[in-house]
Amino acid sequence: MMHTGYIGTKEARSFLAIVLSAPIALTLPQDLALTAGRAAWLSTVVALLVALAAWGLFSRIAEMAPGYSVVQMAGVWWGAPGRWAVGLVLWGYFLLITALVTRAFVETVIGTILPRTPVHVVMLLFMVVTVYMAYYGLETLSRLSQLLSRVLLMGFLLLILMDLRWMDVRYLYPLLGPGLGQVVSVGVMKSSYFSEVLVLGLMLPGLRVARDARRVARSALLVSGVLMIVMVLGYTMSFPPPSGADNPFPFYQMGRLIYLGRFVQRLEAIFDFLWVLSAAVYMAGGLWASTQSLAQACDLPVYRPLVFAMAVLVYGIASLPADYVQTTELTNAYLRSWGWVMLVGMPAVLRLGATWGRRGRREG
């Protein structure tokens, strides 16, 4: 495997945090409002705890084979079949999620800013940018993320602050909303929003200090989790159920709500710019992850030739849903409801594999 460069802890953390937080600008608040009502923020807390626990398991595995990616680890423990299996599962997952999220972002752009522009034109322009970033790899992506992270964070906090006048804490009551059982089950289900943390499993060989992986993941999960909780809280207090569940573009609507008098209003264009930036990083990250997982599964020395083929696949799959409603239906009903199986299942399987693999080698 040829490494084009290493990335530092901060860069890796920024990249991962942006990738994990990007769904905030999509349907995350609305999806949670629909499934957990006014207790959506509690479900997000549960989801974060599940994600942290899953990563706790994962980091133990990373320590067993430092400097190896999860696909390479599978190869070490189970040979080529294991490498293929894990690589293809990750490839399929990242390919699907990137394609659906790409389509959702494109449809959001069309639904809010460019209603008459054909979907393929917007998607093509998005793809050009993401292919460029994915082609130049993790180093480019993570450094760009490091630059963008402060801007995005400031923008997000500004949005919440400017919408404070609409927020009413009384809309959070009754605190448990649909009931404790549903809050917890939705929390577990929606930990799927953190499943992209698996991208770190592919980044492990690129980390300058391999043992920092645990710290990178934990801080990225905490940052994105807190941002998600703040967003869901702010959204529930300004768009309480049932309004909150009916809003296809929650982040954009929050931007549109800003009204601080005659001169400070209509500021959503600033926030459009921010979420398009985070979308570009997310999509490029997804494209890079799917390409990397396939390259590692095939034990290829370089991944770059695959970027264009993957981009065509992403483009093709993203074109399959008929409209925005179907895209979000598919995303929320499958990927964001069952993604937790990947989040928890992948580390669990690898952990078992590591134990058996080691035992087998010892016995052998």
Partner 1 sequence: MRRWMVAFCAGALLMITGCWDRTELEEEGFVPSFAVDTGPAPGVFIYTFRIAVPQEVAGSSGGQNGGGAGGGGDETQKGSKAVSVMARSLGEAINLINSTVERRLNFVQCQYVLFGEGAARQGLSPHIQDLLRFRQFRRTVFLAVVRGKAADSFKENKPVLESSVTRYIEGLQKLKAFTGMVPVVQLHTFVRAMEGDSEDPFTSVLAINESVKEQDRRKNSQQQGANQETGKESESSGEKQRSDREFQTPAVTFEAGRMRRVGGNPEEFPGAAVFRGDRLVDVLSGEEARLLLALRGDLAHAFFTFRVPQGRFTLEVQQHEGRPRIVEGAARGKPVWQIDPPFDVDLVSAVGAFDTRTHQGLLELRRMAEQQFDAEAERLVAKLQKCGSDALGLGLYARRGFLTDAEWRAYGWRDRYEEIQVQVRSRFVIRRIGNQLVSSGAR
CA 140 to chain centroid, in Å, comes to 18
Cβ-based nearer residue to partner 1, 173 or 356: 173
C-alpha angle 31/343/294, rounded to 5°?
Answer: 110
Least Å distance, CB 44 to partner 1, is: 18
What's the CA gap between 91 and 134, in Å, rounded? Answer: 15
C-alpha angle 326/330/332, rounded to 5°?
Answer: 115
The helix (H) or strand (E) run that includes residue 353 is helix 336-363
Cβ-based nearer residue to partner 1, 115 or 301: 115
Least Å distance, CB 124 to partner 1, is: 8
Q: How far is CA 25 from CA 6, 186, 207, in A?
A: 29, 20, 28
CA 54 to chain centroid, in Å, comes to 15
Least Å distance, CB 292 to partner 1, is: 23
Backbone phi and psi for residue 163, each to the nearest 5 degrees, phi listed first? -95, 5
For tokens 């460019």, the residue is 114
Cβ-based nearer residue to partner 1, 109 or 141: 109
Q: Say if residues 32 and 232 touch (Cβ distance below 8 Å).
A: yes
Cβ-based nearer residue to partner 1, 39 or 207: 39
Cβ partners under 8 Å of residue 216, min gap 6? 9, 12, 13, 16, 200, 207
Cβ-based nearer residue to partner 1, 257 or 317: 257
Cβ-based nearer residue to partner 1, 4 or 117: 117
Least Å distance, CB 16 to partner 1, is: 30
Least Å distance, CB 118 to partner 1, is: 7
Name the site residues for partner 1 (rule: CB under 8 A).
37-38, 111-118, 121, 125, 128, 166, 168, 170-171, 173-180, 238-240, 242-243, 253, 256-257, 259, 262, 265-266
Residue 7 forms beta bridges with which residues?
A: 207
Least Å distance, CB 84 to partner 1, is: 32
Cβ-based nearer residue to partner 1, 4 or 243: 243
Cβ-based nearer residue to partner 1, 240 or 357: 240
What are the tokens at 156? 């997000």
For tokens 């702010």, the residue is 234
Least Å distance, CB 115 to partner 1, is: 6
Helices 70-112 and 40-64: crossing angle in degrees, nearest 10, is 150
Least Å distance, CB 266 to partner 1, is: 8
What's the CA gap between 213 and 56, in Å, rounded? Answer: 11
What's the CA gap between 239 and 321, in Å, rounded? Answer: 28
What's the CA gap between 64 and 46, in Å, rounded? Answer: 28
